[in-house]
Amino acid sequence: MMIRVALVATLFTVLSGCVSINVTDSGQSGYSNSCNRTAYLVHSGTLRSEGALASYRAAYAEEVEDYDGLVLTQQSPSTVVHGAQSGAEVLMLTRFPCESRAKDFWRSQTNAELAVLRDQAGDFMVAIYERGLHVNF
């Protein structure tokens, strides 16, 4: 029965593109039904250390998955042709199923532990946006 439900939900998701279902090991939904407005956690700022940024990105991407987050983009210059790499603009965009999941992650002990790497990596402003996010690159 559970397999049938999962197949129907997957098929519906693929066809409609509007349903997000997360089933944990206990069979419970990973977040509530009120979690229906996509939210984006946006890091924007300037680079301090490319090495620290690489470490932060790897750890961050792994940890946000526990909160149903998905890193969509991690922009920083691939090559600096003039000036120093330090101070380059950095943008990280992470999608969550809703603002409450993004806030749950941000307030988590896991994120608190990532703060040291984040501060070494760059000087970031981090904000949550619900639907309608428009980013110009």
- Can you name the residues that pair with 122 across neighbouring β-strands? 47
CATH (one of 3.30.2320.80, 3.30.70.100, 3.20.20.140, 3.40.309.10) for 34-130: 3.30.70.100
The residues, any chain, with a CB within 8 Å of residue 40's CB and separated by 6 or more, are: 72, 93, 94, 95, 96, 102, 128, 129, 130, 133
pLDDT given at position 134: 60
pLDDT given at position 89: 83
pLDDT tens sequence across 3-17 = 333 333 333 333 334
88 closest CA partner among 76, 74, 98: 76
pLDDT tens sequence across 80-111 = 676 666 677 888 999 999 999 999 999 999 99
What are all long-range contacts of 28-31, with beta carbons under 8 Å and residues at least 24 apart?
A: 30/68, 31/68, 31/97, 31/98, 31/100, 31/101
Domain ranges of the chain: 1-30, 34-130
